C-alpha cells in the first residue's frame, strides 16, 4: 500500500518570474524593505526557503504587484533560496528543493560561523544579519504531499500573533 507522503502529485501551478525583484533596497539581492514611518514591529514575509515551494513566491509576487505597504512599522519581503528556486523543474520538483543542502538546517551559530561551504550556506550568511533585525517572521512553505495545513510559532510573541491571525482569518473574534 502506498503511503500519502509517497504519492507524486503533478505540479499544477506555474512558478512566477521573480527576476524583477532581484535588486532589493537593502543591499541584499531579493530582499526589499518598506518603512511606514510609524512605530511598529518589523515584519518579514519570506518565501522559497526550498526551491520547489512555489506558493510563497506566488504570494510575494502578488504583494509586490499590488504594492502592499505597511501602515505601521516595517515590512520586508524576501526570496531566500533563489538558486534552488531558479532550478525548479515541474517534471522533477523534488530535485530543486535545494542545490547543495537544506537551507532550513543552517541557522545555528555553529554552522553559520563554521568552515563549511555551500551555495545555501553562503546565502544564509548573507541574509542572517538582516534577519536579526526582524521582530516577526512569516516564512511561507508549501508541500507536495497529502498533508494538512500547518502553522508553527516559536515563542510567546509569535504564538500570540499566530492565535490572532487564526481568529481573524477564521471569523472568530
The answer to the question of residue 90 being in a domain is: yes
DSSP code, position 6: G
Query: Do the domain assignments include residue 70?
Result: yes
Has residue 156 been placed in a domain?
A: no
Q: What DSSP state is assigned to residue 4?
A: G
- Any domain includes 153: no
> Domain holding 85: CATH number?
3.40.630.10
Question: Tens of pLDDT along 2-55?
Answer: 555 566 778 888 999 999 999 999 999 999 999 999 999 999 999 999 989 999
User: What per-residue confidence (pLDDT) applies to 153?
Assistant: 66
**What's the domain count of the chain?**
1
Give pLDDT, residue 173.
Answer: 47
Classify residue 142 as exposed, middle or buried by CB count within 10 Å of its CB (0-12, 13-18, 19+).
middle
Q: Which of 73-77, 121-125, 146-150, 161-165 has the lowest mean pLDDT?
A: 161-165
Note the pLDDT of residue 9: 76
Domain membership of residue 19 (yes or no) is yes
Query: What's the chain's length in residues?
Result: 173
pLDDT at 27: 98
Please give the Cα distance from 88 to 118 (Å, whole number): 18
Return the pLDDT at 147: 73
**Of 118, 131, 45, residue with least CA distance to 83:** 118
Whether the model clears a pTM of 0.95, i.e. scores above it, the answer is: no
Q: What is the pLDDT of residue 160?
A: 60
Whether 92 is covered by a domain: the verdict is: yes
Digit-coded pLDDT (tens) for 51-110: 899 999 999 999 999 999 999 999 999 999 999 999 998 888 889 899 999 998 998 999
Residue 130: per-residue pLDDT: 97
Rounded Cα distance between 154 and 149, Å, is: 17
Give the domain range for residue 83. Answer: 4-148
Burial tier of 168 (Cβ tally within 10 Å: 0-12, 13-18, 19+): exposed
Q: What are 50's three cell numbers?
A: 526550498
Amino acid at each position: 500500500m502506498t503511503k500519502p507522503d509517497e504519492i507524486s502529485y503533478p505540479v499544477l501551478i506555474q512558478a512566477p518570474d521573480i527576476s524583477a525583484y532581484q535588486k532589493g533596497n537593502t543591499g541584499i539581492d531579493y530582499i526589499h524593505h518598506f518603512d511606514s514611518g510609524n512605530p511598529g514591529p518589523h515584519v518579514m514575509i519570506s518565501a522559497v526557503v526550498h526551491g520547489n515551494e512555489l506558493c510563497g513566491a506566488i504570494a510575494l509576487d502578488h504583494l509586490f504587484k499590488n504594492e502592499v505597504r505597511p501602515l505601521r512599522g516595517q515590512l520586508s519581503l524576501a526570496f531566500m533560496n533563489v538558486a534552488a528556486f531558479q532550478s525548479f523543474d515541474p517534471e522533477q520538483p523534488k530535485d530543486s528543493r535545494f542545490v547543495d543542502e537544506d537551507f532550513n538546517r543552517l541557522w545555528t551559530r555553529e554552522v553559520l560561523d563554521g568552515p563549511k561551504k555551500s551555495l545555501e550556506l553562503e546565502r544564509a550568511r548573507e541574509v542572517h544579519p538582516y534577519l536579526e533585525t526582524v521582530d516577526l517572521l512569516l516564512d511561507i512553505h508549501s508541500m507536495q504531499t497529502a498533508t494538512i495545513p500547518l502553522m508553527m510559532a516559536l515563542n510567546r510573541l509569535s504564538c500570540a500573533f499566530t492565535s490572532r491571525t487564526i481568529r481573524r482569518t477564521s471569523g472568530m473574534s
